[in-house]
A and B are shown apart, each in its own frame.
Chain A
Amino acid sequence: GAVVSQHPSWVICKSGTSVKIECRSLDFQATTMFWYRQFPKQSLMLMATSNEGSKATYEQGVEKDKFLINHASLTLSTLTVTSAHPEDSSFYICSARDISGQGANNEQFFGPGTRLTVL
């Protein structure tokens, strides 16, 4: 159990276009999902906390108008990279916290990641 999926797994887009990445909890409900980005050979950095039914909380330095997050249901959060530029190329990983207590309440389950390349 506790599976998190991401779609797409990889995407290549032109500079200036927008890209949407989906994060789904497949077998549990998640009021809270997290979005991380990882540059090559670096660690994961938290971008934002996505809360179902409310606005996302962004970390300092993350542009909320550029990285739009929507958490419309208990199983789906989306990250839209607007007007993408080459410097946005990265590995984006989401995680979800199971509200029902599968695993320990504090455990997060990670998606497989989405590799974005902006040309």
Chain B
Amino acid sequence: AQSVTQPDIHITVSEGASLELRCNYSYGATPYLFWYVQSPGQGLQLLLKYFSGDTLVQGIKGFEAEFKRSQSSFNLRKPSVHWSDAAEYFCAVQGGNSGYALNFGKGTSLLVTP
């Protein structure tokens, strides 16, 4: 079955520390991959996406993600976290049986401490 897994429900990091949020997928072929951020009570903002080409993708707000086919992963990273990065992060996958609809992971809640 097609699935998207975000293993970490909550992550706490200190401001200025590096961040890595994990995402693994299970699809028949290489799907299209996305990372979204959602602040409390808000809609979704696209951070970055991967369709093809360079496996290291740069996004907004200093985020990047690396697609690793061998590991079926698309982990999100940021070298130095800011307090304003505290939010819910969703990995999403498009493709396969879902067509253009997005299949979301359960999300990772990021808490940033002073």
Question: Which residues of A are in contact with B by a Cβ distance under 8 Å?
Answer: 32, 34, 41-46, 49, 93, 95, 97, 104, 106-108, 110-113, 115
Asked, given contacts A104-B49, A104-B51, A106-B94, whether A43 binds B104 with beta carbons under 8 Å apart, the answer is yes
Instruction: Determine the chain A residues whose CB is within 8 A of the CB of B41 once the complex forms.
Output: 115
A95 to B45, CA, bound (A): 11
Q: Is the CB of A108 within 8 A of B42?
A: no
Interface size (B, Cβ < 8 Å)? Answer: 23
Are B100 and A32 touching (Cβ within 8 A)?
A: yes
Q: Is A95's CB under 8 angstroms from B104's CB?
A: no
From A43, A95, A113, give the contact of B90 (CB < 8 A): A43
Seen from chain B, the residues whose Cβ lies within 8 Å of a Cβ on chain A are: 32, 36, 41-46, 49, 51, 90, 94, 98-107, 109
13 pairs, CB–CB < 8 Å, chain A vs chain B: A34-B102, A41-B109, A44-B90, A46-B98, A49-B99, A93-B43, A95-B102, A104-B49, A108-B100, A108-B102, A110-B46, A112-B42, A113-B42
Could you tell me the distance in whole angstroms from the C-beta of B42 to the nearest C-beta in chain A?
7
A104: which B residues are within 8 A, CB to CB? 49, 51
